[in-house]
Chain A
Amino acid sequence: MKNKPEHENTETASLSAPPKEAVTLHINGEAKQLEVEPWTSLLDFLRDHLNLTGTKKGCDHGQCGACTILVDGKRINSCLTLAVMKDGSEITTIEGLAKEGELHPVQQAFIDHDAFQCGYCTPGQICSTVGLINEGKAKTLDDIRDLMSGNVCRCGAYTNIVKVVQEALERSQAK
Chain B
Amino acid sequence: MKNFTYTRANDVANAVDEVTSEKGSKFIAGGTNLLDLMKIQVERPSHLVDITRLALDTIEETAEGGLRLGALVTNADTAYHEEVGKRYPLLSHAILAGATAQLRNMATDGGNLLQRTRCYYFYDTDTPCNKREPGTGCSAIKGYNRDLAILGTSEHCIATHPSDMAVALAALEATVRVTGKNGERIIPLFEFHRLPGDTPNIDTNLKPDEIITAIDLPAKGFADRYTYLKLRDRASYAFALVSVAAALDIDGDTVKEARVALGGVAHKPWRIPEAEALLKGKPATRENFQKVAEAYVQGAKGYGHNDFKIELAKRAIVRALLQAKEMEARS
Contact = CB atoms under 8 A, between A and B. Distances in A.
Contacts of B125: 1-2, 4
Contact of B3 (A21, A39, A60, A77): A39
19 contacts: A4-B125, A14-B3, A38-B4, A38-B6, A39-B3, A61-B36, A62-B36, A62-B103, A65-B102, A77-B103, A80-B106, A81-B35, A85-B31, A85-B50, A135-B76, A150-B99, A150-B101, A150-B103, A150-B237
Interface string B106-149: 10000000000000000001100000000000000000000000
Interface in B190-243: 235-237
Contacts, number: 97
B80 interface: yes
A65 B100 contact: yes
Nearest to B105: A74
Contacts of B13: none
Contacts of A85: 28, 31, 50, 52
B3 A13 contact: yes
A139 interface: no
Interface in A71-91: 74-77, 79-82, 84-85
A7 B6 CA distance: 19
A24 to B, nearest CB: 14
A37 B44 CA distance: 16
Given A62-B36, A85-B52, A1 B126 contact: yes
Interface string B163-181: 0000000000000000000
B296 to A, nearest CB: 28
A1 B42 CA distance: 11
Q: Which applies to chain B's interface (DSSP): helix, strand, loop or mixed?
A: loop
B115 to A, nearest CB: 12
B48 interface: yes
Contacts of A123: none
Contacts of A1: 40-41, 125-126
Interface of A: 1-2, 4, 7, 13-14, 17-18, 21, 37-39, 41, 60-62, 65, 68, 74-77, 79-82, 84-85, 128, 131-132, 135, 137, 145-150
Contacts of A84: 6, 50
A128 B104 CA distance: 13
A17 B46 CA distance: 11
B32 interface: yes
Contacts of A38: 4-6, 48
A146 B3 contact: no
B139 to A, nearest CB: 14
Contacts of B235: 145-146
